[in-house]
């Protein structure tokens, strides 16, 4: 996807994936990630989407917003995709509880600054 609004679309994909994660984990506890395979796989898939979208955000936008840990997000996506047999659910839980809420705010702020007419 290229064009003037490609980054906007990618950022919106990230927000959509975050919204899905929030809904999948609504009223859930960490143990549910271990016990409910549908929840686990759904969350992992949305984390992959976040990483893939982040990977395709233009480098200039990434440089303008270094507070987003773009490389780590993409790196975790690669780990989920290629090392699926060794996924640490403690790490996944930590990410969705601590990093995803922060990322949501950062992406919302970027969208508001770069695309104020949303």
Cα–Cα distance between 23 and 86 in angstroms, integer? Answer: 25
Cβ count within 10 A of residue 79: 17
Task: Check if 77 is active-site.
Answer: yes
The catalytic residue among 13, 71, 72, 77 is: 77
**Which one-letter DSSP state was computed for residue 57?**
S
Backbone angles phi, psi at 64, to 5 degrees: -70, -25
Task: Check if 13 is active-site.
Answer: no
The catalytic residue among 56, 71, 72, 82 is: 82
Q: State the catalytic residues.
A: 77, 82
């Amino acid at each position: 996807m290229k064009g003037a609004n490609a980054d906007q679309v990618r950022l919106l994909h990230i927000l959509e994936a975050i919204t899905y994660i929030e809904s999948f984990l609504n009223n859930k506890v960490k143990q549910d990630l271990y016990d409910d395979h549908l929840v686990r796989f759904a969350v992992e898939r949305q984390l992959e989407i976040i990483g893939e979208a982040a990977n395709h955000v233009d480098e200039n936008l990434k440089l303008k917003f270094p507070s987003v840990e773009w490389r780590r997000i993409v790196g975790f996506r690669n780990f989920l995709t290629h090392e699926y047999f060794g996924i640490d659910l403690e790490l996944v839980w930590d990410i969705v509880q601590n990093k995803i809420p922060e990322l949501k705010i950062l992406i919302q702020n970027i969208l508001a600054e770069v695309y104020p007419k949303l």
